[in-house]
Amino acid sequence: MTSVARTRGELAEARAEWAAQGASVAVVMTMGALHAGHGELIRRAREMDDRVIVTDFLNPLQFAPGEDLDKYPRTFAADLELCRAEGVDLLFAPGPTEVYPGGDPAVRVAAGPVGDILEGESRPGHFDGVLTVVAKMLHLTDPHRAYFGQKDAQQLWLIAQMVRALDFGVEIVEVPTVRDADGLALSSRNSYLTEGDRRSALALHEALDAGEKVAESGGVAVVTAACHVLAEASVPADYVELVDPSTFEPLTTDGGSAILLVAARVGSTRLIDNVRLTVGPSER
């Protein structure tokens, strides 16, 4: 049975009951418009923890003026269905005034330098908005573990840093990206895509694949191969970058673990994807 909490009070009541039971608590944070990627996070949470909270909050703080806040898909009834099917205990779906009673907060979490590159360069202030709401939701839900998708690799890295830097007592669990059968990473924004857009959107995954295939030849070859696929598909890239997974800085050596990240525009929709790989000659 999935209960719905709209207020902090209702959430706190459930949370206190579970604390009294000594139950371990998981949180999966979402902006609604749930899909099988969110479902996978929930399933992982279900496996590892006694109680699962899903938060469903379209956070205005992480959208810049002119971004897609107003047209972002809102599918609450279907979200609740998915939560019921996946055995979620509590769906916390507050409105903006419940989360930000004083309006947009002047005090926010600062993401730091990694918040200004890649996604942050295209979306100024985005990660401060993300970290601020994640910090608040961690306080409100007080979980033992919080589950996030590798699909949003930069976000995941920044959340892990925040949790460490600010001593949140929560374990962050990373969940691999869930894809459609043809490779397209699931995203709530895929609902914006026309049939033609959807075919073009496959270029993101194909670009990552092409990069991965030449990983042994080094970083330059990886980025060149990925860019080539996007150019051939006439999908304009915002960025194609290899970063060091531990610092999220551009990869400076020509070998080792890396994340290949891509952001591109398909029609009017901006999509992101990434893959983890090892660059340079494999050790034999």
Q: Shortest Cβ distance from residue 42 to ligand AMP (Å)?
A: 10
Q: Is 27 in the site for ligand AMP (CB under 6 A)?
A: no
Q: Is 193 in the site for ligand AMP (CB under 6 A)?
A: no
Which residue in this structure is represented by tokens 């779906």? 93
Which residue in this structure is represented by tokens 């970063």? 243
Q: Looking at 35, 38, 126, 205, which residue is catalytic? A: 38
| Segment lying near ligand AMP (by CB under 6 A), choices 38-46, 86-94, 161-169, 227-235 | 38-46
Active site residue 38: yes
Cα gap 29→108, rounded to integer Å? 18
| Count of residues that bind ligand AMP according to CB under 6 A | 17
Pairing of strands 3-5, 25-30: unpaired
- Name which position in 2, 15, 38, 271 contacts ligand AMP (CB under 6 A): 38
Chain-centroid distance of CA 262 in Å reads 14
Alpha carbon dihedral 259, 265, 270, 276, in 10-degree steps, equals -10
Task: Kindly state the DSSP code that residue 248 receives in the 8-state scheme.
Answer: -
Q: Shortest Cβ distance from residue 28 to ligand AMP (Å)?
A: 7
**268: which 2 tokens?**
């009017």
- Name which position in 11, 31, 90, 184 contacts ligand AMP (CB under 6 A): 31
DSSP secondary structure, 205-247, as one string: HHHHHHHHHTGGG-HHHHHHHHHHHHHHTT--EEEEEEE-TTT
- Name which position in 187, 190, 200, 269 contacts ligand AMP (CB under 6 A): 187
Is the separation of the CB atoms in 258 and 244 below 8 Å?
yes
User: Within 13 A of 41's CA, how many CA atoms are on the CB side?
Assistant: 28
Nearer to ligand AMP, 158 or 223 (CB): 158
Q: Is 61 in the site for ligand AMP (CB under 6 A)?
A: no
Nearer to ligand AMP, 179 or 228 (CB): 179
Nearer to ligand AMP, 161 or 177 (CB): 177
Q: Which residue's beta carbon is nearest to the bound ligand AMP?
A: 149
Active site residues: 38
**Interface residues with ligand AMP (CB under 6 A)?**
30-31, 37-38, 40-41, 148-149, 151-152, 175, 177-178, 185-188
